[in-house]
Structure 1
Amino acid sequence: MTDGSGRTAFPPAPTGLGALSASEIMAGYRRKAFTPRDVVDDTIAALQATNEACNAVVTPMYEQARAEADRLTREMRAGEAKGALAGVPVTVKDLVFVAGVPAYAGSPMNKDFVPDADAAVVSSLKAAGAIITCKTTTCESGYKLTADSPVTGTTRNPWNPSRTSGGSSGGAAAGVAAGCGPIAIGTDGVGSIRVPSSFCGVFGLKPTFGLVPRSPGFSPPSWASLAHTGPITRTVADAALTLEVIAAYDLRDAASLPVSARRFDTNAGRLDGIRIGASADLGYAAVSPDVCAAFGKALATLDSCGAQVTMDGPGLDPGILEHTLKPIAFTEQAAAVASKSATDLAGSEADYRNVIGAGRRYSGTDYIEASYRRGQTRNAFVKLFERVDVLVTPTVAVTAFEAGQIGVDTVDGSKVDPHLGWSPFTWPINLAGLPAATLPCGFDRDGMPIGLQIIAPWLDEPTIFRIAAAFEAAQPWAKFWPQLALREGSGGRAKG
């Protein structure tokens, strides 16, 4: 992988322990090279510096994190520490409940709300020994694909703070990209894990719908039939490890799948025998030239790894955004605040109120008709996966745009919906409930990251990890760091 100017030289990696992968952190603990307190102190320093530049943190949990790190340090010295993520720092998006910690969800309406229970994913992380360092920024109720909100303001991109981080899991992706710990938990209703991960140059996974339980969190507050919870990391192995921890069956979530514990192989190998369908535009999307060029190079890399790459796609309805997604997504968004009055919503963004208004105008018939069309979308993918093992597309049609905007209304000279039209590859996958990941595959002419999306059949996360691991080995994106991550004062203890 090269940057936008074609250079292949890698910049130096940050020296703070928060920039290590989870695997590297745990290996360091085994060697007694450093302690959980060392890692947490460096991670907090990185979070504080990144927050000043990017506005990625909603609620710091630094004192709790230090106390937990001290406890784990004592246990490790006594040989008693256990857990698949023991001593690994993790951030949690502010749509996900952490007991005793405010959950604003980007909304002024939640200014006094403090949940008394952990979301299932948080319970799983704590049981595995992970250390939660903070809650990260989101837009209001996760309604758009940036992380700007009336509660936190504008969240920015560590590659260029004048650009957006993407969203709605923008604080999560920005923190991982800037070396503020190896793992973040995000949510994804129309692309909210994959868009910011693509914009910030990290790995993001939206698991199969129902594989990771959402209760008792916001259950979720919006995108009820669309929202997934998943990891954002710098490496494929860290995402697989995190998914092994958080994937579980939970009766409190009606969509939760009763599947047994899963283990994933992320050893890089050849892709011989893997049939990859590829589509640069899904047959209807406008895409920027830089993204198209990076996508073409990514296909060549997959071919060199042994995969059989053919141009193919699901043949979706070009009107899927207006006729299928919006009647479902906007109605569910409006239902999430059905009891709220105009006075309650007065502090919300005008764009959010517009989405609520649109959702309230759809009829029950509109919603059911859109659900029928959603079934047709799912069937299109069923037929596609009879021909290929996975589908790959660009993750987003553009790279990170100016911070503070809801989106762009023109892509390569074509007019698009400014809310969702510039991300045409993400939300069809939510409609189908499929697993999908984004991984960095290049940079645009301004040095901003570009993502490649891998989409697999339901519950076939193993194939996503297999392909991603091979691509990661061929194009080691984790060696690229934004300049912000190379800041002074971000820690610097020896990695052992």
Structure 2
Amino acid sequence: MDSHQVLAGAGTAPNALARLSAEELLAGYKARRFTPRDVLEEVISALQHIDGQCRVMVTPMFDAARQAADAAGAAWAAGTPTGPLCGVPVTIKDLVFVAGVPAHGGAPLNDGFVPKTDAAVVAALRSAGAVLTCKTTTCESGYKLTADSPVSGTTRNPWNLSRTSGGSSGGAAAAVAAGGGPLAIGTDGVGSIRVPSAFCGVFGLKPTFGLVPRVPGFSPPSWASLAHTGPITRTVSDAALLLNVIAGYDPRDGASLPVPKPTFRSESRPLAGLRIAATPDLGYAAVSPAVRAAFEAAVGVLAQLGATVEPLSPELDPQMLERTLKPIAFTEQAAAVAGRPTEDLADSDADYRDVVLQGRGYSGTDYIEATYRRGAVRSAFLALFQKAEALVTPSVAVTAFEAGTLGVDSIDGTAVDRHLGWSPFSWPINLAGLPAATLPCGFDAEGLPIGLQIVAPWLDEAVIFQIAAAFEAARPWAGLWPPASPPQS
């Protein structure tokens, strides 16, 4: 049964409502085909099913969600919906504060910590009428690109339970992919929205740095100058809908951009006249053959849609991971636990302790010199965007690897850094603060999703939505469901 059949006869198949997009839910509420409470109960059932297989939830918020859904139902019945997401379920990554709900952030150090205030994005969601369902899994302090942690265990991929979901927004991506509701809030410091979205076969967007405020609750403040908050969804239009709610200036956040609140749209429009740069490897990165083949096929689709696609790449330092990213990122991770003795990290991941120790080993000079080199990354993208309106790359250089591992140490015979080397396309974009999205563009021979990354100039999320919507219309993915999805019969 497809979503249009569901809208014509709501509730005729188990878990059908939980699979609807946010736009379809809002249409159904308006037509009184079903209520927010109907939807929520199916979403709760779906989340419990998915959690039993993939481990996606840290803290359920079902009682409060039922109250919010009933209030939304009353508002729809009265013809006065309280906002653009009235009655729509959304999950919140456990690095983002929800008042009165534990914020573990995957870290044993946070045991017993309960914030008293909502993060700005959570406050915006409440004002928009959204229904918060649960906190989703993350790795410890968001330090790696999987969602395994000492707090919540190993989050698995709904397409293959032996593989990782990716991370650190892994619970968010896996839940959306398997039908645990249409919307999720994730965060992205070195790829933590795009990597799990690519591994799980959904749409994930990292907005321009500062477009979505991170205050007053984002803990711990790891990846301080790198982390973005953004949407993970099944459809491009749902991401635009969610970003419209959470974007905006907040003077409490020193990185928040004082720009007029934008309006995002995702109508599929022709790509004729659009210049798109394309590189399968940035000129130096190791990439698996399956990912490379899917990328080349996706580039062909963009050309068929009318875009002028040129083989161009930003001129980046191949040693950027060691020379630029790690001195910044690892120092910021160490700063997040500044003042805590090493023995306080005894229950932490061993790899997390290594990152903190390495971060503590960099000097202030090392950090500042890395920020100078970071300026060269920005300049490289500025030069590229003089020649093209957008850049496309693979989202990740590999498909999902074994669950419970940090990463892979070689790709197609080439050695790579096990922590971050297999995701060479994500973290350069964080260094530059650019907006970027991943969308599904194929599968490997084992049936694991592959993502296409779209990168745009600063504050030009509109071109990302334009390209993504056109690709989605040509190669739709929202009707594909992984084996871990709740059954419909």
TM normalised by structure 1 equals 0.95
Residue 460 of structure 2: aligned partner:
460
Q: Distance in 2 between matches of 1:70 and 1:30?
A: 15
Residue 251 of structure 2: aligned partner:
251
Q: Please tell me the residue identity of whatever aligns with 1:455.
A: V
Q: Distance in 1 between matches of 2:15 and 2:221?
A: 39
Per-residue CA shift, 1:289-335, capped at 9, x if unaligned? Answer: 00000000000000000000000010100000000000000000001
Residue 7 of structure 1: aligned partner:
none
Q: Distance in 2 between matches of 1:220 and 1:15?
A: 35
* 3-state SS of 1:141 partner: helix
Per-residue CA shift, 1:438-464, capped at 9, x if unaligned? Answer: 000000000000000000000000000
Residue 81 of structure 2: aligned partner:
81
Residue 108 of structure 1: aligned partner:
108
Structure 2 unaligned residues grouped into runs of 5+: 1-12
Residue 437 of structure 1: aligned partner:
437
* 3-state SS of 1:118 partner: coil
Aligned-residue sequence identity (percent) comes to 68
Residue 338 of structure 1: aligned partner:
338
Q: Distance in 1 between matches of 2:318 and 2:116?
A: 44
Residue 270 of structure 1: aligned partner:
270
Residue 5 of structure 2: aligned partner:
none
Query: Contact between 1:214 and 1:220, CA under 8 Å: does it hold in 2?
Result: no
The yes-or-no answer on 1:318 pairing with 2:299 is no
Q: Distance in 1 between matches of 2:209 and 2:387?
A: 22
Query: Contact between 1:220 and 1:227, CA under 8 Å: does it hold in 2?
Result: no
Q: In the TM superposition, what is the alpha-carbon distance from 1:218 to its structure 2 partner?
A: 2.4
Residue-pair matches, total? 477
Q: Please tell me the residue identity of whatever aligns with 1:315.
A: E
Q: Please tell me the residue identity of whatever aligns with 2:417.
A: D
Per-residue CA shift, 1:457-478, capped at 9, x if unaligned? Answer: 0000000000000000000011
* 3-state SS of 2:342 partner: coil
Q: Please tell me the residue identity of whatever aligns with 1:365.
A: T
The yes-or-no answer on 1:378 pairing with 2:378 is yes
Q: Please tell me the residue identity of whatever aligns with 2:79.
A: G
What pairs with 1:45-56 in structure 2 (closer than 5 Å)? 45-56=45-56
Q: In the TM superposition, what is the alpha-carbon distance from 1:15 to its structure 2 partner?
A: 4.5
Query: Contact between 1:249 and 1:256, CA under 8 Å: does it hold in 2?
Result: yes
Q: Distance in 1 between matches of 2:189 and 2:14?
A: 32
The yes-or-no answer on 1:479 pairing with 2:479 is yes
Residue 280 of structure 1: aligned partner:
280
Q: In the TM superposition, what is the alpha-carbon distance from 1:80 to its structure 2 partner?
A: 2.5
Query: Contact between 2:95 and 2:219, CA under 8 Å: does it hold in 1?
Result: no
The yes-or-no answer on 1:158 pairing with 2:158 is yes
Q: In the TM superposition, what is the alpha-carbon distance from 1:265 to its structure 2 partner?
A: 2.2
What pairs with 1:137-286 in structure 2 (closer than 5 Å)? 137-218=137-218, 221-286=221-286
Q: In the TM superposition, what is the alpha-carbon distance from 1:219 to its structure 2 partner?
A: 6.1
> Relative to structure 1, is the Cα distance of residues 39 and 312 closer, same or farther in structure 2, using a 3 angstrom cutoff?
same
Per-residue CA shift, 1:165-218, capped at 9, x if unaligned? Answer: 000000000000011110000000000000000000000000000000000112
Q: Distance in 2 between matches of 1:104 and 1:221?
A: 13
TM normalised by structure 2 equals 0.96
Q: Kindly report structure 1 stretches of 4+ aligned residues shifted beyond 4 Å.
A: none
- Root-mean-square deviation (CA, aligned residues, Å) is 1.1
Query: Contact between 1:119 and 1:216, CA under 8 Å: does it hold in 2?
Result: yes
Per-residue CA shift, 1:359-402, capped at 9, x if unaligned? Answer: 00001111011100000010000000001110100000000001
Query: Contact between 2:393 and 2:425, CA under 8 Å: does it hold in 1?
Result: yes
* 3-state SS of 2:393 partner: strand
Query: Contact between 2:141 and 2:219, CA under 8 Å: does it hold in 1?
Result: no
* 3-state SS of 1:162 partner: strand
What pairs with 1:349-360 in structure 2 (closer than 5 Å)? 349-360=349-360
Q: Distance in 2 between matches of 1:486 and 1:229?
A: 28
Q: Distance in 2 between matches of 1:262 and 1:35?
A: 30
Query: Contact between 2:212 and 2:228, CA under 8 Å: does it hold in 1?
Result: yes
Q: Distance in 2 between matches of 1:78 and 1:204?
A: 34
Residue 365 of structure 1: aligned partner:
365
- Larger relative CO (CA 8 A, sep 6+): 1 or 2? 1
Residue 494 of structure 1: aligned partner:
none
* 3-state SS of 1:367 partner: helix
Q: Please tell me the residue identity of whatever aligns with 1:261.
A: K
